[in-house]
Structure 1
Amino acid sequence: MTHAFLSSVARRVALRPRRSTVSVFAAAAVSTTASAACASAVRVRRPLAPRAAAWLVVCAAFGAGAALPLAAHARIKATHPSVNVTTVLPQSVMVGLQRARVPLSSISVVVEKVGDRTPLLALNAGKPMMPASTMKLVTTYAGLSILGPDYRWRTSAYADGSLDGNGVLHGNLYIQGTGDPKLVPEELIDLVQKIHKAGINGIDGALVLDKRYFDPSTRDLPPFDDDATAPYNVGPDPLLYAFKALSFTVTPSPDGKVAIDVLPALAQLQIDNQMRAVNGPCRGDSASVSPTVTPQPNGTVVASFTGDYSLRCDARTVNVAVLDHSAFFAGGFLALWQQTGGTFQGATREGAVPAGAKLVATHQGPVLSDIVRDINKFSNNTMARNLFLTIGATEERPPATAAKSARAIQEFLLRDSINMQYLTLENGSGLSRDEHVTALALADLLQRANASPVAQVFVESLPIAGVDGTMRNRLANQGAGGNAHIKTGTLRDVRAIAGYVASADGNSYVVVSLINDPHSEAARAAHDALLEWVYQGPSQGFTKIADPVEEPRARPRKNPHKRGAH
């Protein structure tokens, strides 16, 4: 059987699943004595003696004294009765964790050969963890499987009124959205041009936005870390335009002026440029690059730039989320409308398309396979959240809610024989403290995805180590560079990796590691060491130390009503 992962890494070899008796870590309740030993062992900050390392292994399996769910343990015990030896983490990974001051109780790891769900390495594997953006793997795999790789969002225009001989619509123009995650200027201009081709050149009425596809409860949510201007905090919307973010580029010139360019254009946006280009060293000038954006009583929005900017500084771009979704979309649409010769003197508002309105134009967005690539390569939270809600709207009818989407994804995973007992979904992007999943569950999903009809699209959407996306600057000069497709995840106190590694020994592996710890930010080296160790061939690097209880493995019962991808 040729696995999809191999096709994205030069199709090294055809792998055949085979069972293995390699080891996994223990996962059962520990005694008071063991708990005390754990507490002592995880405080060690120097190279470990073999016995201390053994205690750390046991602590890791138990979460430093916290037992894994007994039900999960029972399921795994029944699944892998032959597994009877444990191993320590690779030395390079242990060194990275020690330097970052991350105890083994804070990390969850699973390594498996592609096509074989018996873990080669499992550490705290059944413990629910915050996954950060590796949660996007759940959303994108479910989206590809439920909607299909060729799914396209539609944004439509309706006219309600009469059209005179000069092409002026005496009535309202309605724009109805369904959550296109990539409705950027290059896409929205298609809808504008189609409206013109329908004979409409002016609007003598209102521009009305129909946003009923998503429930109002999905809007105006508090920003994740209270930074409302951060583009990664932009929430979902049926008429999401250009990620609701403005990109300002500041460029100094020798004549003392500073040019300021902005994308996308908004009809109501005005720039107040009081910056000066000056001589002297470039010291960052970051404060000058960031504008103050102020809505005015007349409906305009002013972006003010002040201060000095060194000629030695290169052009710099800053991205700022501004306005609400409706004002941002209306401003973007009207800017394109006026640039193409359209006229408009009315107001903008939200409302439903009336029953008698005439469909005049429809824009189809990029195919879902392209959207998933952007979501995973660049870890785009806003696009992931729009996809998440779209799944709920299509499976349970609009308006979409977070509850509908979570339920639809859970039901799909059950049909697909993936056990996600401890999965908690809030928005599907991982930008949450309430989303949880286990490393074992993510490993199961990666195994299933790699053998699914959407395997190639899914695997190729993941960042390639040392090449692109969020992994472009990692492992570039090591063996894993170019040989690992890895989704990353980072939040405060969370660092995660999950994906596939094609190793030097001709095999391919599923790798998942989740760290939840105040020092997680410093643990990137440990994750890179894990990926490089897998690339070198994990079967060469184990140290056997004991015969403990086996790590739990959740194995779902097959659903007799399982439905294939469509």
Structure 2
Amino acid sequence: MTDKYTNRYVKKTIDLLFFNFIGILIGLIFFSDYSYSNENNENKPSIKLTANDSLKALNKFKADIDNVLSVGLLKRAKYGVAVYSITNKKYIYSKNLTNEVTPASNTKLFTTFNAFNTMGPDYRIETTVFTDGNIKDSVLDGNLYIVGKGDALLTVTDIEYLADAIIEKGIKKINGNIYADGSFYDTMTQRVSYSGDKDIVEPLQPITALTLNQNIAAILIHSGSTPGKPVSVQLVPPSEAFIIQNYATIAGVKKTLKQSGKKIIKTKKNYDKKNHIKQKIKINSNKHKITVRKSKKTTYNYQYIEQRFGDVPPVPSPASRRRPRITVSTKIDSSGLQKFIINGSLTAGMNYSYRYFIQNPNLVVAGTLKNRLESGGVKITGKIGLGLLQSVRTKTGLLAEINRPLMDLIYLTNKNSDNYLAETIFKMTGAYSGNHINNSMQSKEKLFEAIKRYNIPCTDCVINDGSGLSRRNRVTVDAILHLLIESKKLNFGNKYDSSLTIAGIDGTLVNRMKNTLAENNLRAKTGTLNNTSALSGFVNTQDGELFAFSFVFNGGSVSSYKQIENKLGVLLANFKYSSIIENDKKSEEKKVVKSKQKRK
């Protein structure tokens, strides 16, 4: 009896353990499947949708966009609006898809797409220093050539790096000249020279293959405590290609010097004209008649801005709001040197800064390199000048080099809508393609080759420049949309996307669409001119669907257009297909509540 009972008990125990094991196994499979399903569908609607539900949601979405665009302002405007689902490969919304519009800074989308497509996403911009001589016993018998390829972010620090690399080769003396070779770019250094525009719109620095501090010179003026003494003047970048003539004094005593008897006070090293190669330098090749729009703080050639720039140390704000009685003017002399003439007086203990365009950047770069080499203890017997490097582009002739990713320029161009960098990239693309006589023409040819290759509907587009300052640029929102769509298929797509400004986070969208689903989601390129506003880019919906979009408005209030763009951007970020069911459910719940209230 005992054995029989024991056997039955053991059998029951084994059966119980077996069924428990099966139950646990089923549970694990179920929950892991649930977890996997949940993980893979976290961005998808949790509500089961029918085709009719999706259609209703899209129709409601289109109606919401129509409602935003129904404002009276747009009845008189020329505009286009388009939304495309990259995820589902179909248009979501379109209005005036093929209307020609002025894109303003949305032109930069074409410029940077063209640069990536032509030069590649990993292209690096070189600045090199070569010699045509030989080094023996720490003496270089020969010339130096600093050669630029369009690095518009080159700074004094970079020149110091090049100078240090030369010094590290043991060179203590150079029996030769220092030449700047900016021949990679053509001689058209002003945007209006190649865009064909009659108005400047916004003054830009000279666009050159060799640049320094984005071709802007900063003048720092400080007045000490002794009336009648000259003010202190510092110029950044320091270069032998600059001459400072300082006639300004510290206020407090009556000025008695006559114009003809003024003594030139140089705060920099005295300039020796014998130490410069005289050349004929064509500064402005523009032959067009230019209409200049002046403002209180902007004139055609120069900009006066009281702020920090580049390598200039911070300047404290003046204690007094009274405008300084200081005037600064600049001009190029017959030998290509840029003079800065400072007149007037300044109250004791004051600091002011001024910014002026560098008018002969290539020569200034050569002068700064010479300055840095001499500061490092190298004796240079020659002069500075402009020259072409001919046949010494070999490893043996290379003394120093520095390179910067193209992406660095594109990032700042699109994030901050930097017009100067955009024009630099525009010219660089043409120069890279082999045309050093007319960079812009070659750049446009490469752009329209790409447009044809990728079937972008833009054969009738007009692109006159790289920045979008030209009011004569003409595109369609369909062309912009296809440009964005194609970028996602190419090897530079991720970099192109990451160069766009992010709503509420950075760049020109830093203060827009905050505290919405578009914040830190919508990525786009802004565009602004008088009577023109644009916004084009990408956004993810609540369902995780990727939209490409383009909004361009011409002929009205820019601030009103920006508000419309914000509303549209938020609408796109908020969209989800299940919204129609959720709204119907809410409506039903409201009806039930009202019905109960009536019964009471």
TM-score by structure 2 length?
0.65
Distance 1:90 1:134 in 2: 23
SS in 2 for 1:119: strand
SS in 2 for 1:120: strand
> Is 1:323 aligned with 2:323?
no
SS in 2 for 1:174: strand
| 1:374-523 mapped onto 2 (5 Å cutoff) | 374-396=412-434, 398-399=436-437, 401-517=439-555, 519-520=557-558, 522-523=560-561
> Is 1:123 aligned with 2:95?
yes
Structure 1 residue 433: Cα displacement: 2.4
Structure 1 residue 243: Cα displacement: 1.4
> Is 1:265 aligned with 2:265?
no
Structure 1 residue 124: Cα displacement: 1.8
Structure 1 residue 399: Cα displacement: 5.0
| 1:126-275 mapped onto 2 (5 Å cutoff) | 126-163=98-135, 165-167=137-139, 169-217=140-188, 221-222=192-193, 233-248=204-219, 263-267=236-240, 268=242, 270=244, 272=246, 274=249
Distance 1:490 1:521 in 2: 10
SS in 2 for 1:213: coil
> Is 1:114 aligned with 2:151?
no
Distance 2:222 2:499 in 1: 34
Paired letter, 2:505: V
Asked whether the equivalents of residues 480 and 535 of structure 1 are also in contact (C-alpha less than 8 Å), the reply is yes
Q: What is the CA RMSD across the aligned residues, in angstroms? A: 4.2
Structure 1 residue 104: Cα displacement: 5.3
Which blocks of at least 5 consecutive residues in structure 2 are unaligned?
1-40, 46-50, 252-315, 581-600
Alpha-carbon displacement from aligned partner over 1:541-566 (angstroms, at most 9, x marks no partner): 99xxxxxxxxxxxxxxxxxxxxxxxx
Alpha-carbon displacement from aligned partner over 1:377-434 (angstroms, at most 9, x marks no partner): 1222232222223323333465552121111122123323433223322232222223
**Residue 562 (structure 1) aligns with:** none
Classify 1:159/1:513 alpha carbon distance in 2 versus 1 (closer, same or farther; 3 Å).
same
Distance 2:344 2:539 in 1: 49
1:334 to 366, 370, 373: 370
Asked whether the equivalents of residues 237 and 386 of structure 1 are also in contact (C-alpha less than 8 Å), the reply is yes
> Is 1:292 aligned with 2:329?
yes
Alpha-carbon displacement from aligned partner over 1:329-353 (angstroms, at most 9, x marks no partner): 2333333333333344544332321
Asked whether the equivalents of residues 111 and 122 of structure 1 are also in contact (C-alpha less than 8 Å), the reply is yes
Alpha-carbon displacement from aligned partner over 1:32-63 (angstroms, at most 9, x marks no partner): xxxxxxxxxxxxxxxxxxxxxxxxxxxxxxxx
Structure number with greater Rg is 2
SS in 2 for 1:198: coil
Instruction: Provide the aligned length of Structure 1 versus Structure 2.
Output: 459
Asked whether the equivalents of residues 293 and 322 of structure 1 are also in contact (C-alpha less than 8 Å), the reply is no
Alpha-carbon displacement from aligned partner over 1:214-246 (angstroms, at most 9, x marks no partner): 233466855978669x6x612432212221112
Structure 1 residue 261: Cα displacement: 6.1
| 1:1-80 mapped onto 2 (5 Å cutoff) | 13=43
Structure 1 residue 522: Cα displacement: 4.8
Distance 2:483 2:178 in 1: 44
Structure 1 residue 126: Cα displacement: 0.9
Which blocks of at least 5 consecutive residues in structure 1 are unaligned?
1-10, 24-82, 543-566
Classify 1:117/1:205 alpha carbon distance in 2 versus 1 (closer, same or farther; 3 Å).
same
Classify 1:325/1:510 alpha carbon distance in 2 versus 1 (closer, same or farther; 3 Å).
same
Paired letter, 2:444: A
Structure 1 residue 157: Cα displacement: 1.9
Asked whether the equivalents of residues 134 and 496 of structure 1 are also in contact (C-alpha less than 8 Å), the reply is yes
Paired letter, 2:363: A
Alpha-carbon displacement from aligned partner over 1:275-331 (angstroms, at most 9, x marks no partner): 779997647x5x7798433556784632637566899x9x88654323223233233
Distance 1:210 1:540 in 2: 62
TM-score by structure 1 length?
0.69
